[in-house]
């Protein structure tokens, strides 16, 4: 038996529809069914008609913005939302709290200005020194109780979890934005706000004293290494708090859990470590507390008197491990985000 020659089936041309030629064609729909008894397929011919649509997906052939422009769009979406509409709508209470924290962070300059007007004795306690520079970035109250941890919790609480909840990740990843750029710009936006409140205000505080008190070059040479040490400690705080906060935000679909989790981790671990050290005279838990690990390293960088019996190098290793684990968790969770609503 020879096979029947195959008939040439005409290939239909690609059909494109636009406003000039809308889809208006109609065709009879035929359904094929089979019976288990006969093993033959039959065609059910009916008078029903239906619309036939042709969907053709074509690749984008236009010119894309450069990578930096796409990243800048993600970054400004969060940053400019604090002061302008049309970007991420930050709640009014969050904006008010950020303004209050900014005023509190630069509060050191007011005694310095008064001291420059009425004499050094008035603002001597607040003048630039090892202790004042350390207290500006790592002072426990009010800065690391009411300022920096709370601000970080408010900022990063919904930064990624909101995308998982509302499916906003589909808007990001359906465009030529890599997951690395997505995480990097979110990280940079959160770290920038914390940097302004912590490190930038430190530089303003130092500059105001130089100008207001008329400090000479000899004084600047003596105190500038202290400023660099305090700025390095502040940068460690910014990086660590941002890493911990975004890691918690990536594992949740609401903004409440990451915010409360970060505050519980920073303040709760500090309280537990202090109680254990007070009762059992054991300082090992200070290595598990983000604040105490940062404080121990910061005291070594600034050169002020240490409050801890454990070596500051151990605390530095603890800070590095915290950041590595947080970034690893963040990267894995963002890698699992699909280009769909989850």
* Residues of the chain scoring pLDDT < 70: 1-55, 57, 60, 120-123, 338-342
Q: How far is CA 86 from CA 82, 90, 187, 316, in A?
A: 10, 11, 21, 41
- Helix 290-302 and helix 130-138: axis angle, to 10°? 160
Q: How far is CA 255 from CA 88, 120, 141, 208, 265, in A?
A: 15, 47, 25, 38, 16
Which residues sit opposite 34 in a β-bridge?
Answer: 41
Q: Are 71 and 185 in contact (CB under 8 A)?
A: yes
- The candidate with the shortest Cα–Cα distance to 201, out of 290, 304, 273, 98, is 98
Q: Most distant CA pair in the chain: distance in Å?
A: 115
Structure tokens at 303: 């050169």
Burial class (CB in 10 A: 0-12, 13-18, 19+), 58: exposed
- Residue that the structure tokens 């030629």 belong to: 21
Q: Are 304 and 134 in contact (CB under 8 A)?
A: yes
CA-CA distance, 21 to 24, in Å (whole number)? 8
- Residue that the structure tokens 């940053």 belong to: 79
Q: Output the pLDDT for position 183.
A: 94
Q: Output the pLDDT for position 4.
A: 52
Q: Output the pLDDT for position 295.
A: 97
Q: Output the pLDDT for position 323.
A: 97
- Residue that the structure tokens 């065709």 belong to: 27
CA-CA distance, 267 to 139, in Å (whole number)? 13
- The candidate with the shortest Cα–Cα distance to 194, out of 91, 290, 79, 298, is 79
Q: Residue 28 — φ and ψ, nearest 5°?
A: -80, 135
What single DSSP character describes residue 32?
A: E
CA-CA distance, 254 to 163, in Å (whole number)? 9
Q: Output the pLDDT for position 40.
A: 56
Answer positive or negative: Cα dihedral of 319, 324, 329, 334: positive
Q: Are 114 and 123 in contact (CB under 8 A)?
A: yes
Q: Output the pLDDT for position 206.
A: 96
What single DSSP character describes residue 56?
A: -
Helices (H) and strands (E) in the chain, counts: 14, 4
Per the document, the length of the chain is 342
CA-CA distance, 333 to 326, in Å (whole number)? 11
């Amino acid at each position: 038996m020879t096979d029947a020659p195959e008939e040439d089936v005409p290939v239909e041309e690609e059909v494109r529809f636009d406003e000039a030629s809308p889809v208006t064609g109609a065709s009879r729909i035929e359904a094929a069914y089979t019976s288990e008894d006969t093993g033959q397929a039959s065609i059910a011919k009916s008078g029903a008609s239906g619309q036939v649509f042709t969907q053709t997906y074509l690749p984008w052939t236009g010119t894309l913005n450069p990578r930096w422009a796409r990243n800048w769009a993600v970054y400004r979406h969060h940053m400019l939302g604090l002061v302008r509409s049309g970007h991420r709508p930050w709640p009014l209470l969050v904006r008010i709290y950020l303004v209050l924290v900014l005023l509190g962070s630069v509060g050191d300059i007011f005694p310095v200005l008064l001291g420059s007007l009425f004499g050094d004795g008035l603002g001597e306690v607040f003048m630039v020194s090892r202790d004042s520079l350390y207290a500006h970035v790592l002072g426990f109250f009010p800065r690391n109780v009411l300022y920096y941890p709370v601000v970080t919790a408010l900022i990063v609480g919904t930064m990624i979890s909101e995308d998982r909840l509302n499916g906003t990740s589909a808007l990001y990843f359906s465009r030529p934005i890599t997951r690395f750029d997505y995480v990097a710009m979110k990280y940079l936006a959160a770290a920038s706000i914390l940097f302004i409140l912590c490190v930038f205000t430190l530089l303003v505080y130092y500059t105001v004293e130089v100008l207001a008190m008329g400090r000479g070059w000899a004084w600047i040479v003596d105190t500038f290494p202290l400023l660099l040490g305090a700025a390095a400690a502040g940068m460690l705080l910014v990086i660590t708090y941002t890493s911990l906060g975004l890691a918690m935000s990536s594992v949740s679909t609401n903004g409440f859990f990451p915010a409360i989790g970060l505050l519980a981790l920073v303040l709760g671990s500090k309280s537990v470590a202090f109680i254990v050290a007070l009762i059992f005279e054991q300082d090992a838990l200070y290595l598990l507390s983000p604040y105490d690990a940062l404080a121990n390293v910061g005291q070594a960088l600034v050169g002020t008197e240490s409050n801890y019996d454990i070596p500051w190098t151990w605390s530095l290793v603890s800070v590095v491990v915290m950041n590595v684990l947080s970034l690893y968790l963040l990267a894995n969770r963002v890698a699992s985000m699909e280009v769909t609503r989850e």
